[in-house]
Amino acid sequence: MKNKKQDVKQAEVSERNINNNIITKENKTNDASIHLIFLVCVIGVSLGIALEIINVQNRITKDDNRSYWVYSAFNDVDNKNGILKHVHSVLERLGYEKKTNKTWNLLWSHDYPFRSLYTIIQNLKPNQKVNHFPGTGFITNKVNLATSDSKYIPKAFKLPKSKEDFLKYVADNRNALFLEKHNQHRGVYLKNVSEIDLNNGESFVQEFVQNPFLVDGHKFDIGVYVALTSVDPLRVYWYKGDVLFRYCPEKYYPFDPKNVDKYVIGDDYLPTWELPSMVHPYTTLGFGMKDAFDHYANSKGLDTENMWEEIQKAITEVFVKNEHYVIEALKKYNYKDNFFEMMRFDLIVDENLKVYMLEANMSPNLSSAHFPQNQMLYEQVLYNLFSLTGVASYVDSTSNQTVNNMISAQKNIAVFSKECNTICKDNCEAKSVCVLCKPCLTPKLKKALLKAHRENLHKGDFRRLFPPTMLQNDIERNMNHLSQINRIQHLWYQGKCNIDTTWCV
């Protein structure tokens, strides 16, 4: 009996040990499970935090790609109801947020920024854009442009540097009249030669066009908005959606040189909608200023088509002659694709619609405070400018090749298929067009053509000034006056024109 009791006790002890081992194992298993669950939670939280950081960074990046900064050393440009009111409003409609000079995607400078902001602009990132090109001061400087040798620019002389040439010209042109203009364009006055201070180093003189074309007796000028998007190769566009017509507040005749309101267009000009002959086409029928003027001129038996062609030639000539200044200035900066520029060229026409160029404005007036009716013109010009230059793009293609290809790819710039499959197949120098074949394309040229293709897709109401309008299969045009890369670019546009007539203009 005693042995049986001992066996029972041993069995109970063994059972308890087994149960304890099972419980211990279960506890260990439970502890391991708890540790695993805790580890999974930690990893999950960490991933969540990491993803949120990435999302924040992405949001910041997106915000930076939709941010702009306005600058002027002399004007209150931060005021959203001020001189840049419509710049602010259009950019905000495009999803841009106004920032400081610390972080921005677009700089809109009312002044020429390359002196005061040199350090900032010299170190631009590829995705940043500035609304001026370095070197364009050679175009917008009043004296430089006025004294250029061109059939479209009235004869002008720097004083006192060109005093002798001026006096000789006066002697040869006894009936000529001259405007004395301050170098900074602070005043314009018609004077007799005897009244002009020939030793004044702050002004220049320019021949006065005495027989201007008049609308209802009023002299006017024509303001054409022009966009420069590239140099080397050169691409220039003009806004065909409308142009700005400004009329003198006083009728030209009887002429009185002391009354500048008869022949000088100032801030208080007479707008199109206040001229009797313009009320019907502009106000009643709803045409723009350009079409209203064309209607008036046509009613007088004049054809304005040639006038507009001459205006385009006059503006194009300025850029072709001065491109080298911009190219040289760009050498100081890391990326030449950071820049674009919009100017307004002011021109007049005589009674035969002969075209004369007066000046190019670096930062044309975009405020409708004086004439609220101009709001639509300014905002349409700005929207089309931003579309043309990629500012209004709704995708970020600065670093993503897949996105770039979605917009413009190799197949979009391929031209001259016959030549590329035959003559140029084994020799990139066999013919001038061979450099445009894919095996012969340099990286620089390919990049330029892809950008040109994107501009053509988004040009809106802008039309090409340079390269100029062309006809299909017209490859015999004289281009000897152009640089090599501008000749090549012209051939590319010709190739696109041969395939699709919409590329001809």
Residue 240: CB atoms within 10 A of its CB come to 18
- Specify whether 423 is located in the same domain as 376: no
Asked if residue 47 is part of any domain, the answer here is: yes
- Specify whether 236 is located in the same domain as 318: yes
N-term to C-term CA, the chain: 120
- Specify whether 369 is located in the same domain as 226: yes
- Specify whether 146 is located in the same domain as 294: yes
Looking at the structure of the chain, the number of domains it has is: 3
Instruction: Answer for the pair 204, 146: CB distance below 8 angstroms, yes or no.
Output: yes
Asked if residue 96 is part of any domain, the answer here is: no
- Specify whether 310 is located in the same domain as 454: no
Q: Which of these three, 25, 42, 63, is where a domain ends?
A: 63
pLDDT (tens digit, 9 = 90+) per residue, 202-219? 789 999 999 999 999 999
DSSP state of 279: I
The position carrying tokens 């590829």 is: 126
Asked if residue 43 is part of any domain, the answer here is: yes
- Specify whether 353 is located in the same domain as 407: no
Q: Which of these three, 366, 389, 412, is where a domain ends?
A: 389
- Report the greatest alpha carbon distance in the chain: 154
- Specify whether 361 is located in the same domain as 430: no
- Specify whether 381 is located in the same domain as 451: no
Kindly report the pTM of this predicted structure.
0.86
Q: Please state, in angstroms and rounded to a whole number, the distance separating the CA atoms of residues 1 and 457.
A: 107
| Domain at 254, CATH number | 3.30.470.20
pLDDT (tens digit, 9 = 90+) per residue, 427-485? 999 999 999 999 999 999 999 999 999 999 999 999 999 999 999 998 767 788 899 99
Instruction: Answer for the pair 232, 323: CB distance below 8 angstroms, yes or no.
Output: yes
- Specify whether 338 is located in the same domain as 462: no
pLDDT (tens, 9 = 90+) of the chain, 505 residues, equals: 445 445 545 545 455 554 555 445 555 545 555 555 555 455 554 555 444 444 434 443 444 578 999 999 999 999 999 999 999 999 999 999 999 888 899 999 999 999 999 999 999 999 999 999 999 999 999 999 999 999 999 999 999 999 999 999 999 999 999 999 877 655 788 988 888 888 887 789 999 999 999 999 999 999 999 999 999 999 999 999 999 999 999 999 999 999 999 999 999 999 999 999 999 999 999 999 999 999 999 999 999 999 999 999 999 999 999 999 999 999 999 999 999 999 999 999 999 999 999 999 999 999 999 999 999 999 999 999 999 999 998 666 555 778 878 999 999 999 999 999 999 999 999 999 999 999 999 999 999 999 999 999 999 999 999 999 999 998 767 788 899 999 999 999 999 999 999 999 9
- Specify whether 276 is located in the same domain as 297: yes
Helix residue spans in 65-129 (DSSP H): 85-93, 118-122
Asked if residue 443 is part of any domain, the answer here is: yes
- Specify whether 415 is located in the same domain as 352: no
Q: Which of these three, 389, 414, 448, is where a domain ends?
A: 389
Domain residues for 54?
A: 33-63
Asked if residue 379 is part of any domain, the answer here is: yes
Query: Which residues are CB-neighbours of 497 under 8 A, at least 6 positions away?
Result: 470, 471, 472, 503, 504
- Specify whether 260 is located in the same domain as 311: yes
Query: Which residues are CB-neighbours of 218 under 8 A, at least 6 positions away?
Result: 247, 248, 249, 250, 251, 252, 270, 275
Asked if residue 3 is part of any domain, the answer here is: no
